[in-house]
Amino acid sequence: MQHKLIQSVGIAWTILFAAFIIWIYATEPRTFKEVAAGAQAVTGTYEIDQGRFNSALDLFHREQFRAAREEWVLADPGMRDARTQFYIAYAFYREGFGRFYYDKDLFKQGLDAVNRAIDLAPEGTLKVDDPDLQMHTAAELKAELEQGLEPSLGDINPFKIFRKRK
């Protein structure tokens, strides 16, 4: 009886360790903080640093987009909060928007961030109720970023300078 108990416990530990190794390879964390954040997300205890999030939001509203993104990255080190990833993508959009051209590198990074936000959102839909934003859903932001990345004849339209940033 005791021999079977030891075997069962050994098999259970082996399965748990194998699941942990597979999870590590699947999530590809680069730092121990990311491992810890991922473990918290799996157990449902992950929370962002709300103070950093609020200070980043203040920077965003003052149009200091790069500084706001850096604060949001510190607020959400595991990149597990859909709302924070949405704001990061929006900051990339706002900084990359130009009257004469779009910064395609910033738009690509914004597209990556909005895709993360959509993946993290329940049922793939994310709506942010911020009266200072003109786009409130991740789908709207994604469409705007994708449109900015696609080359078109509208890129040479001189009236493009009158287009408003959202």
Tens digit of pLDDT for each residue in 11-25? 999 999 898 888 776
The domain that contains 115 carries what CATH number?
1.25.40.10
pLDDT score for 92 = 93
d(CA 108, CA 102): 11
**More confident site: 102 or 157:** 102
Range with the lowest mean pLDDT among 69-78, 106-115, 117-126, 151-160? 151-160
pLDDT score for 149 = 75
In a domain, 34, yes or no: no
Is the pTM above the cut of 0.75? no
- Domains: count for the chain: 1
In a domain, 65, yes or no: yes
In a domain, 109, yes or no: yes
Q: Evaluate whether 106 touches 92 at the Cβ level (below 8 Å).
A: yes
Supply the mean pLDDT for the chain. Answer: 82
Residues with Cβ within 8 Å of residue 145, at least 6 apart in sequence: 89, 92, 93, 107, 110, 111, 114
Q: What pairs with residue 137 in β-bridges? A: 127
Domain range for 107? 48-162
In a domain, 150, yes or no: yes
- Tens digit of pLDDT for each residue in 58-112? 999 999 999 999 999 999 888 888 899 999 999 999 888 765 667 788 989 999 9
In a domain, 39, yes or no: no
